[in-house]
């Protein structure tokens, strides 16, 4: 079965600093990958999704970007963090077709911007 | 655009009792999927149950079942014989068939009272 790894698990960064969050996937190939943000007490906001290497769709224009350099790697980045970037970031995968046609989530990264 | 609405920010249920969480959605599509996810205090998102829109039969998974009313665009989750471990945030989600974008509701926090 597929496994999603995210690191770091927790991160505290100053305003204006860069960001790099990594998501890697095991046990599947050619997945669709997603980045979500969950702000305190709120639902999941879709940030980016990717259907393949180098293919990124952005859902929310902001100071974040995403890249997919390898089939099973999805990276969320920022050049300069804002206070509003604080939240819980979740990576997810979708393996379309058959019994796995459901989205699965990683353990998440808690980001605090001070 | 599709939307998902969870109108109950918080619900409580006595242990061993039954509780129903509400979800309504808006879409002009005829083929889609609906999901309920559970997010316990660990923040790990766990798929509880899914429903294909073309299926008239309501999905069930052990103590969890749904009441899918396609005409009314309603998708409620019923938890029977509630257990302390059911305490979590529950999210309703939608995805149009053939697309990769998920839309989540804002969640319902379920408290289970001993």
In DSSP notation, B37-97 reads: EEE-TT---EEEEEEETT--SPPEETTEEEEEETTTTEEEEEE-S--GGG-EEEEEEEEET
- Decide if A46 and B44 are in contact by the 8 Å CB cutoff: no
- Is the confidence at residue A99, as pLDDT, over 90? no
Q: Shortest CB distance from B50 goes to which of A44, A46, A102? A: A102
- Is the confidence at residue B37, as pLDDT, over 80? yes
Q: Which residue has the tokens 């690191």?
A: A7
B98 touches chain A (CB under 8 A): no
> What's the confidence (pLDDT) of residue A100?
45
- Decide if B102 and A32 are in contact by the 8 Å CB cutoff: no
CA distance B20 to chain A (A): 19
Q: What is the pLDDT of residues A44-84, one digit of tens each?
A: 899 999 999 999 998 886 789 999 999 999 999 999 999 99
CA distance B101 to chain A (A): 8
Cα separations in angstroms, A97 against A12, A101, A102: 38, 5, 9
CA distance A87 to chain B (A): 12
Nearest Cα residue to A74 out of A95, A58, A93 = A93
- Decide if A59 and B103 are in contact by the 8 Å CB cutoff: no
% residues pLDDT > 90 (chain A): 71
- Decide if B101 and A32 are in contact by the 8 Å CB cutoff: no
For the CA atoms of A36, A40, A43, A49, the dihedral, rounded to the nearest 10 degrees, stands at -10
Q: Which chain A positions have a beta carbon within 8 Å of B54's beta carbon?
A: none
Q: Which chain A positions have a beta carbon within 8 Å of B1's beta carbon?
A: none
Distance CA B19, CA A110 (A): 31
Q: Do residues B54 and B101 lie in contact, with contact meaning Cβ atoms separated by under 8 Å?
A: no
% residues pLDDT > 90 (chain B): 82
Q: Shortest CB distance from A44 goes to which of B47, B95, B104? A: B104
> What's the confidence (pLDDT) of residue B26?
96
| A11 bridge partner residues | A111
CA distance A32 to chain B (A): 8
What six digits make up the tokens of B71? Answer: 């005409």
B101 touches chain A (CB under 8 A): yes
């Amino acid at each position: 079965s597929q496994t999603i790894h995210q690191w770091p698990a927790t991160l505290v960064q100053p305003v204006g600093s860069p960001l790099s969050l990594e998501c890697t996937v095991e046990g599947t190939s050619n997945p669709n990958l997603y980045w979500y943000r969950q702000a305190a007490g709120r639902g999941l906001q879709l940030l980016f999704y990717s259907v393949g290497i180098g293919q990124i769709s952005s859902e929310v224009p902001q100071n974040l970007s995403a890249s997919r350099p390898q089939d099973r790697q999805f990276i969320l980045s920022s050049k300069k963090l804002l206070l509003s970037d604080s939240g819980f970031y979740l990576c997810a995968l979708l393996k379309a077709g058959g019994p796995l046609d459901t989205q699965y989530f990683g353990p998440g990264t808690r980001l605090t911007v001070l | 655009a599709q939307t998902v609405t969870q109108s109950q920010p918080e619900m409580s249920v006595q242990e061993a009792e039954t509780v129903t969480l509400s979800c309504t959605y808006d879409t002009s599509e005829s083929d889609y999927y609906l999901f309920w996810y559970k997010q316990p205090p660990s923040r790990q998102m766990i798929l509880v149950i899914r429903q294909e829109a073309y299926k008239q039969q309501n999905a069930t998974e052990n103590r969890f079942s749904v009441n899918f009313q396609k005409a009314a665009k309603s998708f409620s989750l019923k938890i029977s014989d509630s257990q302390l471990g059911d305490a979590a945030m529950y999210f309703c989600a939608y995805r149009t068939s053939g697309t990769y974008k998920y839309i989540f509701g804002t969640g319902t926090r379920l408290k289970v009272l001993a």
